[in-house]
Amino acid sequence: MGSGLTVVAGAGGFIGGHLVAHLRAEGRVVRAVDVKPLSEWYQVFEGAENVVADLKLREECGRVCAGAERVYQLAADMGGMGFIEHNKALCMLSVLTNTHMLLAALDAGVSRFFYSSSACVYAADKQLSPDVIPLKESDAYPAMAEDGYGWEKLFSERMCRHFREDFGLATRVARYHNVYGPHGTWEGGREKAPAAICRKVIQAKHRKEPTIEIWGDGTQTRSFMYIDDCTRGTLAIADSEILEPINLGSSELVTINQLVDIVEEIAGIRLRRSYNLKAPKGVPGRNSDNTMIQRELGWEPSTRLREGMERTYRWIQDEYIRKYGD
C-alpha cells in the first residue's frame, strides 16, 4: 500500500469509524466521508479530512474520490433485522451509492476499490435450520438473497466484478457476518442483536424490571465478529490478490438465547425472557465457513464472543448512563 490518499466512505458509521482509526494509526492520509452531519458521526478524527457528502449523487462521488489511491466503500443505508425487513426500498437505493462510487473510482484511477458486502447475499434455502452447515462463498448461487438488502449487496458484488473484468478497476469484496463492538448503534431501531441485547439488559438492570424481550424464539443461530477482527480482515483482503468475494466472519456459533446468557453473566443478572414471535428474526441459522480465508490469508476472525461482548457491554453501559443517568 502506497502513501497516497485513502477514502473511507461511510466513515461516520460503526465499521467506517473503526477503519479510519486503524488507518490513521498506520499513518495513512485519510479522507473520511459520510452523509450524516459531523455531530452524528460515531467517531471523528481531527487528523483526517472529514467530508459530509451524499454519495447517492454522482457528482459528490467524483468530488470525494478525486486524487484517491484507495477507496473503502462502506457507505450504505442499513441496520439490524428490524430495519432491513421494514426498509427494503431504502436498502436497495444503496445501489446508487455503489454504482456512482465505482464510476468515480474508475475516473480517479484508484489502485484498489474495497466493497463491504454481507452474509445476507446467501441463498435463504441454505439457512433454514438452526443446526447450520457453515456458508461457503459458492453458496451465494443459485441466487436467493435476503429480500431488499441482500439482493442489493449481491448486485453490487457483480458490479465490482464487472468493473474489474471490463474496465481493469482492482476491486476486492468481503462478505461481513454480523459485526459488533463499541462505537456502534445501540438504540433507535438500526442496532443489531449484540448491541440490542446489551441495551435491554442494561435497561432492565437500571430500571429494576427483571424481564427481557427476545425477537423470535431465541433458537436462531448466528456468528458475531468483533470489530477489531473486521478492520484487520478488511485491510488484509484489500491488500490481497483475492479476486472473488470472501467471507469475513467468526465461526463461533451461538443461539440468540446463548447470547443473552453471555450478556446476563457479564451484567451479573438473570432476567425472565419474553419471546416476541411476531418480531423480525431473520433466517433460522447462519454461520461463516472460513476455509477460504484460512487458505488465502492464513488467518480468520478469532476474538472470543465473551471477550468482545464484555467490551461492547461496558461501552454501551457508559453511553446509557451518559444519556439517561444512573
Residue 161 in grid coordinates: 466484478
Q: If DSSP codes are grouped into helix, strand and coil, which group holds residue 24?
A: helix
Provide CB contacts within 8 A for 153, sequence distance 6+. Answer: 117, 118, 120, 121, 145
Angle (CA) 201 206 207, round 5°: 100
Within 13 Å and on the Cβ side, how many CA atoms surround 14?
24
Backbone angles phi, psi at 19, to 5 degrees: -65, -45
Phi and psi, residue 176, nearest 5°: -75, 140
* Residue tagged active-site, from 42, 115, 122, 149: 149
Which helix (H) or strand (E) is 42 found in, with range? none
Give yes or no: 275 in active site. Answer: no
Residue with grid cell 454501551, as numbered in its chain:
316
Active site members: 149
